[in-house]
């Protein structure tokens, strides 16, 4: 009994001591909070540590792997790691193994030496600071498999295949090849060593076994005996028999837990990697960038896509350009042209090793936004506008066509397509969605296509600029909704961002294109109209077809030529203008008064000039209404200038010694009284057969003096100079018809 009480007493004393010790430690930690903290330990319960930011870079590895492949990757990979470290983030390096579909046979032949060099770099201590992911959208065979196994994680398209690895190896080389595979796999410790051995050596037999300790293992026949020493084999089956090459589809590899991810495209891959931002697409180049610049300014017009592609191809071929900057300042204008250029930038194999960057300096509205979205990267000025209404109003069928093309383009760039599609389709509803620490923007259609749509939680719709209008973004806000877009305020900042030593060389069009752009500017256009209108006015008051007609022809020809090539004018505007001038001349020179031909001719001229300043006929959105207003203001300014110029011609030019011949002097007081008296007469039958002299040119109407009478006369259509002898051949009331006669010597 005493023993029991003694034991109980000892137990009580121990518990009291433990309680006092716990209270003491708690008080000490409360007094000195630092003692309760340890950078190597998890934070207290209820306060989970914020997940580390992860930044992703995509590097395309063109197959087959060569010595150039490893060389071109080293500097960009190191730069990506340094950038992530500077931003206090973990770098995620995605290596996409790819090749043109038509070159699948050629892509298999990677030499073991080149593959081992790249694999050694990817598994080195330098790259070990990053999370590396091998992405296989297509099947990878040959020794490129070794570089895939060097990464921390593997992602594959479901129907892509990994293996066989020994396409070009002879049996005598296999021991050395297997040693290389073992070296890389054991260094990374991420891929099953025996599976790697089977990929490298088809003579091995690979088995799938289950042991008493649970789980499924994959071992070669040689390692099966070692496994039996520590575990009991419950079940085994041959997965690949000896002398049969091993290959795994993405779906099969995922099912067997040989790879980490299945992804049909880059968008799915980014979501599964849980990146903080979209991947930054890096193009591997040897040496520095050889940069060129293509300007996309003003209305998108017919021939623009073909001309831009021609200049880019020439730069790649002749100058070995590997960096193309699309400097965009356009409100769109032609979806066909924009889609053509966008597909070239995003899908053409010619640009697979070329970095394409769109810089929106002022605006990329309507279909011009397609061109920006097709590039590898997008940079915008903070005050620029991306998307929204522009110089082209889309019909519902055109919206569907553009959105279809857009989905193909942005998926190729590894971006979500919902927000870009809302730039064209105002009826599309886009939600802010979250999954853990990820934020993305989906419409219902894109969300339904996600592999795990139930993991996303839908929140509010994004702010729209207005009901029934397509979405647009200010440059300062674009990165909020479209992660990965970079804000750039100047050319110097653009150069620093891409490590360019100088501005990209401008792929300049011909001198004709430069002249067209200058002449099509609003200021010069108004100037041409004022000079042309004033010259035409002077010509109507001068003898014959002289300087005024020549100057007017040149001015109007330059105006319509520049706008024709600039994409805002066509043959319709030219025909309307010529028809309007013809009606005015008919009214002034043939038909007396100012009736339907005069009013109709003036209306045709104004209509042609307004249409020549814009790409549409009737404004259909807010942007086009603004452009229509600007066109009217430009034409109004030209009319005011023409009236002022005509007034100046009437007042000053008749008094100048030489130019006075271009404009008729106003009649004197006596001539004005005579004209008034003669015009008051109802009939001029007494003038029949009389001869007199012209006091003005007859074109075909004008003035002639018969004795003391100054009379309005007209010819049958021919022109007669001043001071010419004429004879009255017909009198019809107040109409006096004359013909020229020769004076007798």
Residue 368 domain-assigned (yes or no): yes
Q: 400-426: per-residue pLDDT in tens? A: 989 988 888 887 777 788 999 999 998
Residue that finishes a domain, picked among 590, 624, 655: 655
Supply φ then ψ for residue 588, to 5 degrees.
Answer: -75, -40
My answer on whether 417 and 555 are in the same domain is no
Which own/partner contact pairs does 220-223 have at CB distance under 8 Å and 24+ positions apart? 220/194, 223/194
Is the pLDDT confidence value at 40 over 90?
no
Residue 36 domain-assigned (yes or no): no
| Location of structure tokens 């100057």 | 551
Q: Token digits for 645?
A: 């110029």
C-alpha–C-alpha distance, residues 583 and 600, integer Å: 7
Say how many Å lie between the first and final Cα of the chain, rounded.
171
pLDDT for 168: 67
Q: 204-229: per-residue pLDDT in tens? A: 899 888 877 767 888 888 777 777 77
What CATH number should be reported for the domain holding residue 474?
3.90.226.10
Is the pLDDT confidence value at 3 over 60?
no
What CATH number should be reported for the domain holding residue 736?
2.40.50.140
- Residue 145's nearest CA partner among 176, 180, 175 is 180
Residue that finishes a domain, picked among 622, 655, 688: 655
My answer on whether 256 and 118 are in the same domain is yes
C-alpha–C-alpha distance, residues 351 and 368, integer Å: 20
pLDDT for 591: 64
Residue 387 domain-assigned (yes or no): yes
Contact 97, 155 (CB under 8 A): no
Is the pLDDT confidence value at 340 over 60?
yes
> By percentage, how much of the chain surpasses pLDDT 90?
17
Residue 100 domain-assigned (yes or no): yes
pLDDT for 706: 87
How many domains, the chain?
A: 5
Contact 430, 419 (CB under 8 A): yes
Residue 46 domain-assigned (yes or no): no
My answer on whether 87 and 216 are in the same domain is no
Residue 330 domain-assigned (yes or no): yes
Write out the residue range of the structural domain in which residue 630 sits.
511-568+613-655
My answer on whether 298 and 397 are in the same domain is yes
Q: Which of 286-290, 407-411, 437-441 has the highest mean pLDDT?
A: 407-411
Is the pLDDT confidence value at 16 over 60?
no
My answer on whether 435 and 308 are in the same domain is yes
C-alpha–C-alpha distance, residues 206 and 241, integer Å: 6
My answer on whether 237 and 248 are in the same domain is no
Supply φ then ψ for residue 153, to 5 degrees.
Answer: -135, 155
356: β partners: 324
Q: Exposed/middle/buried for 680, CB within 10 Å: 0-12, 13-18, 19+? A: exposed
My answer on whether 327 and 454 are in the same domain is yes
Q: Token digits for 155?
A: 């992602």
The larger pLDDT score, comparing residue 101 to residue 158, is at 158
My answer on whether 336 and 455 are in the same domain is yes
My answer on whether 87 and 160 are in the same domain is yes
Is the pLDDT confidence value at 328 over 90?
yes
- Using pLDDT thresholds of 50, 70 and 90, give the confidence band for residue 136: very high
Q: Which of 12-21, 22-31, 243-252, 516-525 has the highest mean pLDDT?
A: 243-252
The arithmetic mean of pLDDT across residues 393-400, rounded, is 88
C-alpha–C-alpha distance, residues 365 and 394, integer Å: 12
Is the pLDDT confidence value at 729 over 70?
yes
């Amino acid at each position: 009994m005493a023993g029991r009480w003694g034991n109980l007493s000892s137990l009580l004393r121990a518990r009291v001591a433990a309680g006092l010790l716990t209270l003491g430690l708690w008080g000490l930690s409360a007094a000195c909070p630092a003692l309760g903290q340890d950078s190597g330990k998890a934070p207290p319960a209820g306060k989970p540590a914020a997940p580390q930011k992860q930044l992703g870079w995509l590097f395309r590895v063109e197959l087959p792997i060569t010595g150039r492949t490893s060389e071109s990757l080293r500097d960009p990979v190191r730069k990506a790691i340094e950038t992530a470290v500077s931003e206090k983030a973990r770098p995620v390096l995605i290596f996409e193994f790819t090749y043109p579909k038509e070159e699948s046979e050629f892509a298999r032949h990677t030499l073991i030496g080149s593959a081992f060099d790249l694999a050694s770099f990817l598994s080195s201590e330098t790259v070990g600071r990053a999370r590396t992911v091998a992405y296989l959208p297509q099947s990878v065979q040959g020794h490129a498999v070794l570089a895939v196994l060097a990464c921390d994680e593997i992602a594959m398209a479901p129907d892509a295949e990994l293996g066989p690895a020994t396409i070009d190896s002879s049996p005598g080389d296999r021991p050395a090849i297997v040693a290389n595979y073992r070296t890389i796999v054991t260094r990374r410790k991420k891929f099953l060593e025996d599976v790697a051995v089977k990929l490298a050596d088809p003579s091995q037999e690979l088995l799938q076994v289950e042991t008493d300790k649970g789980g499924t293992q994959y071992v070669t026949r040689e390692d099966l005996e070692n496994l039996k020493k520590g575990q009991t084999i419950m079940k085994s089956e041959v997965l690949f028999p000896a002398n049969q090459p091993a290959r795994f589809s993405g779906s099969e590899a995922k099912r067997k837990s040989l790879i980490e991810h299945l992804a049909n495209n880059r968008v799915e891959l980014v979501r599964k990697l849980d990146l903080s931002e979209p991947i930054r697409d890096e193009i591997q180049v040897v040496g520095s960038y050889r940069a060129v610049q293509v300007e996309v300014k003003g209305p998108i017009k017919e021939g623009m896509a073909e001309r831009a592609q021609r200049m880019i191809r020439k730069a790649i071929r002749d100058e070995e350009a590997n960096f193309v900057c699309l400097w965009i300042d356009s409100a769109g204008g032609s979806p066909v042209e924009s889609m053509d250029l966008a597909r070239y930038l995003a899908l053409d194999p010619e640009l697979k090793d070329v970095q394409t960057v769109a810089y929106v300096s002022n605006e990329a509205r309507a279909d011009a936004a397609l061109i920006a979205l097709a590039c590898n990267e997008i940079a915008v000025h903070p005050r620029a506008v991306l998307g929204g209404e522009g110089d082209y109003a889309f019909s519902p069928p055109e919206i569907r066509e553009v959105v279809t093309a857009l989905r193909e383009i942005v998926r190729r760039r590894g971006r979500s397509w919902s927000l870009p599609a809302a730039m064209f389709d105002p009826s599309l509803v886009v939600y802010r969605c979250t999954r853990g620490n990820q934020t993305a923007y989906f419409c219902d259609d894109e969300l339904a296509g996600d592999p795990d749509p139930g993991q996303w939680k839908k929140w509010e719709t994004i702010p729209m600029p207005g009901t029934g209008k397509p979405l647009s973004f200010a440059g300062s806000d674009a990165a909020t909704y479209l992660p990965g877009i970079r804000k750039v305020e100047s050319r110097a900042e653009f150069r620093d961002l891409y490590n360019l030593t100088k501005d990209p060389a401008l792929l300049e069009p011909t001198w004709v294109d430069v002249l067209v752009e200058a002449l099509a500017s609003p200021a010069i256009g108004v100037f041409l109209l004022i000079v042309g209108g004033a010259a035409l006015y002077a010509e109507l008051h001068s003898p014959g077809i002289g300087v005024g007609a020549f100057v007017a022809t040149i001015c109007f020809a330059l105006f319509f030529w520049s706008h024709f090539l600039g994409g805002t004018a066509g043959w319709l505007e030219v025909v309307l203008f010529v028809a309007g001038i013809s009606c005015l001349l008919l009214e002034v020179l043939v038909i007396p008064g100012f009736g339907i031909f005069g009013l109709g001719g003036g209306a045709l001229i104004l209509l042609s000039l307004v249409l020549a300043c814009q790409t549409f006929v009737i404004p259909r959105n807010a942007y086009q209404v603004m452009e229509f207003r600007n066109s009217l203001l430009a034409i109004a300014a030209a009319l005011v200038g023409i009236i002022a110029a005509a007034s100046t011609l009437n007042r000053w030019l008749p008094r100048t010694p030489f130019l006075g011949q271009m404009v008729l002097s106003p009649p004197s007081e006596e001539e004005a009284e005579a004209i008034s008296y003669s015009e008051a007469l109802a009939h001029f039958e007494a003038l029949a057969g009389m001869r007199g002299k012209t006091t003005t040119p007859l074109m075909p109407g004008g003035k002639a003096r018969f004795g003391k009478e100054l009379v309005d006369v007209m010819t049958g259509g021919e022109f007669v100079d001043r001071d010419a002898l004429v004879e009255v051949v017909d009198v019809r009331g107040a109409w006096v018809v004359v013909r020229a006669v020769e004076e007798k010597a």
